[in-house]
């Protein structure tokens, strides 16, 4: 095995997905602590200034106790380099989560032991299934009142059509929860030694007989294909089961996978470097008005100072200061390998969906925009700041905070979001980072669809419906309809055109 292959084989890049309040952020911190990345994990149950959740760095996250942006954290454990992507738990930020899942090789699904499979968990799982992403399941909060473990496994299996293979088993329940039994290594992991006469040990022996008789053993091939999930029980708050999860990722977590492009499949161990920009974040450091592109290295080795081809613009891009991240903290990356996630400072050059290469002209696929569910016009409180607002909206739209539509009739810009919390984030960030106070006004539109078809046909439709036409950030045409009926009618009367509710980022919609 070459040095390049050896480095790539020890990369583990994964996301954590869950329904809100299942304990995702707490688990993230415990994983980082177990990996030596932090000495003291934050207490997400603390209030006000005492709250120090390390992965939630934006002010609105700290105020509300939620994650609304993806945080990237790199650390080493067990001879592997981990790139952990903590995704937004709130459903209003599903688009950011979807893009994040284009950049990972596996996912950890966190389930509340009392609540089981919840709506958000199911939706995120379906996104993983679309991409055949292997999933490890962590059933959290076993130190509280919980469902029976067999019932939880059955629910995962039936609700998600996913085979379950328990990797660990809980010893005790709720207040008597003492630790786990490792089914692969056949050993206890408990804080204190328990005599065989202890009721928890007696129950464990009976349950293990049922586990071995009724449930499948772990099969790596089925796991890699996304058909089976190993299941771990624990309590992130009490740091029980956390190292079980990390050890499993070291042992059988998938290394960097091949990625599809518009021309061919790119394999991680190719010599030539390629990278996909899947996220943009501005103003992580308000003092420097910075703008960071998060890029997944898809193949080869990245080295600081190398000159890359920016495929969208066909220009050269100098890589002066690539960085590794631990949430807000950064470290200069002298080199990185396939599977790593690096931050690239830039001034608006890089956008979501961009491809960087050593020279080859190819574009990574599978990074979409979804049609927004809520449309609003921005109302500016101070007309003197109109120019600043235009710049701010453009930059925040490039980040993916909102989608920006500029009406072709010259009326003020319209923003589109999946949920109302995104509007709160937009309002808060405009005030905090740009000093611009805004409100929102209703618009006579409820749906937005990208128009795809022959160029002259699109232009003819746009001319006939000018008051309902807008251009998106890329200049592609968007039809705004007042109702689902009006959208269906437009489609029926223009059979040569397609009205799309998704758009492949970086791909023009007209031919």
- DSSP string covering 423-460, please? HHHHHHHHHHHH---EEEEE-S--EEEEEEB-HHHHHH
Q: Chain centroid to CA 357: how far?
A: 23
CB-based contacts of 135: which residues, under 8 Å, 6+ apart? 106, 107, 108, 109, 125, 128, 162, 226, 229
pLDDT tens, residue by residue, 54-80: 455 455 555 555 554 557 889 999 999
Contact of 117 with 160, CB cutoff 8 Å:
yes
Q: What is the pTM of this model?
A: 0.85
Q: What is the DSSP string of 222-286?
A: HHHTTSEEEEEE-BTTTTBSHHHHHHHHHHH---PPPEEBSS-EEPTT-SS-EEEEEEEEE-SST
Task: Report the top-level CATH class of 260-357.
Answer: alpha beta
CATH number of 368-504: 3.30.70.3280
382: closest CA among 423, 429, 439?
Answer: 439
Binding-site residue positions: 18-25, 86-90, 140-143
State the binding site for GTP.
Answer: 18-25, 86-90, 140-143
| Architecture of the domain delimited by 3-67+88-253 | 3-Layer(aba) Sandwich (3.40)
Question: How far apart are alpha carbons 228 and 463 in whole angstroms?
Answer: 52
Dump pLDDT digits (tens) for 353-410. Answer: 999 999 999 999 888 888 999 999 999 989 999 999 999 999 899 888 899 999 999 9
Mean pLDDT of 304-310: 96
DSSP run (H or E) holding 404: strand 403-407
Residue 64: the pLDDT is 54
Task: Give the Cβ contact number of residue 463 at 10 Å.
Answer: 10
In terms of Cα–Cα distance, which of 38, 96, 102, 39 is closest to 67?
Answer: 96
**How many Cα atoms are found within 13 Å in the side-chain-facing hemisphere of 434?**
23
User: CA 168, CA 507: separation in Å to the nearest integer?
Assistant: 45
User: Cβ of 455: how many Cβ atoms within 10 Å?
Assistant: 10
CB 425 within 8 A of CB 60: yes
Kindly report the three-state secondary structure assignment for every residue of 98-133. Answer: HHHHCCCCEEEEEEECCCECCHHHHHHHHHHHHCCC
Max avg pLDDT among 191-195, 291-295, 296-300, 377-381 = 296-300
The answer to whether the 3-67+88-253 and 368-504 domains have the same CATH topology is: no
Give the model's confidence band at 99: pLDDT under 50 very low, under 70 low, under 90 confident, else very high. confident
Sign of the Cα torsion 358, 273, 296, 290 reads negative
Q: Where are the domains of the chain?
A: 3-67+88-253, 260-357, 368-504
Please say whether the dihedral angle defined by the alpha carbons of residues 407, 348, 296 and 281, taken in this order, is positive or negative.
Answer: negative
Angle 119-130/149-160 helices, nearest 10 degrees?
50
pLDDT at residue number 59: 59
């Amino acid at each position: 095995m070459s040095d390049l292959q050896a480095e790539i084989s020890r990369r583990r890049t994964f996301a954590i997905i869950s329904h809100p309040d299942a304990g995702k952020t707490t688990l993230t911190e415990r994983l980082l602590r177990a990996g030596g990345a932090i000495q003291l994990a934050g207490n997400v149950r603390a209030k006000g200034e005492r709250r120090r959740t390390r992965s939630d760095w934006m002010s609105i996250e700290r105020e509300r106790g939620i994650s609304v942006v993806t945080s990237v954290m790199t650390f080493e454990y067990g001879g592997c380099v981990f790139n952990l992507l903590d995704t937004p738990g709130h459903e209003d930020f599903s688009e950011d989560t979807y893009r994040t899942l284009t950049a990972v090789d596996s996912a950890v699904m966190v389930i509340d032991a009392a609540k089981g499979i919840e709506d958000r968990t199911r939706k995120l799982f379906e996104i993983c299934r679309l991409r055949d992403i292997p999933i490890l399941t962590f059933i959290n909060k076993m130190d509280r009142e919980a469902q029976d473990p067999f019932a939880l496994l059955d629910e995962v299996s039936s609700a998600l059509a996913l085979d379950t293979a328990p990797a660990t088993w809980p010893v005790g329940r709720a207040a008597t929860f003492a630790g786990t039994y490792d089914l692969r290594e056949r050993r206890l992991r408990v804080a204190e030694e328990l005599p065989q006469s202890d009721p928890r040990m007696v129950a464990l022996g009976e349950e293990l007989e049922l586990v071995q008789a009724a449930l499948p053993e772990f099969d790596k091939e089925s796991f890699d294909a996304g058909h089976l999930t190993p299941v771990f029980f624990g309590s992130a708050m009490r740091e029980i089961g956390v190292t079980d999860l990390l050890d499993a990722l070291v042992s059988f977590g998938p290394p960097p996978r091949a990625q599809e492009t518009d021309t061919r499949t790119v394999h991680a161990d190719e010599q030539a470097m390629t990278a996909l920009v899947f996220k943009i974040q501005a103003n992580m450091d308000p003092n420097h008005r910075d703008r960071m592109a998060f890029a997944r290295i898809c193949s080869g080795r990245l080295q600081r100072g190398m000159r890359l081809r920016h495929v969208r613009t066909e220009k050269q891009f100098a890589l002066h200061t690539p960085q590794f991240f631990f949430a807000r903290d950064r470290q200069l990356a002298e080199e990185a390998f396939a599977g790593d996630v690096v931050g690239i400072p830039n001034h608006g050059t890089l956008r979501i969906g961009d491809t960087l290469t050593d020279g080859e002209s190819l574009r990574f696929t599978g990074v979409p925009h979804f049609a927004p569910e809520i449309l609003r016009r921005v109302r500016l409180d101070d007309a003197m700041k109109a120019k600043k607002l235009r710049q701010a909206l453009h930059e925040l739209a490039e980040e993916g905070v909102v989608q920006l539509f500029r009406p072709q009739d010259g009326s003020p810009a319209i923003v589109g979001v999946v949920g109302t919390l995104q509007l709160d984030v937009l309002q808060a960030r405009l005030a905090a980072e740009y000093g611009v106070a805004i409100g929102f006004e209703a618009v006579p539109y409820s749906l937005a669809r990208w128009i795809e078809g022959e160029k002259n046909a699109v232009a003819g439709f746009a001319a006939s419906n000018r008051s309902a036409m807008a251009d998106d950030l890329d200049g592609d045409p968007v039809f705004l309809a007042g109702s689902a009926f009006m959208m269906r009618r437009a489609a029926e009367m223009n059979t040569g055109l397609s009205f799309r509710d998704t758009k492949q980022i970086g791909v023009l919609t007209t031919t």
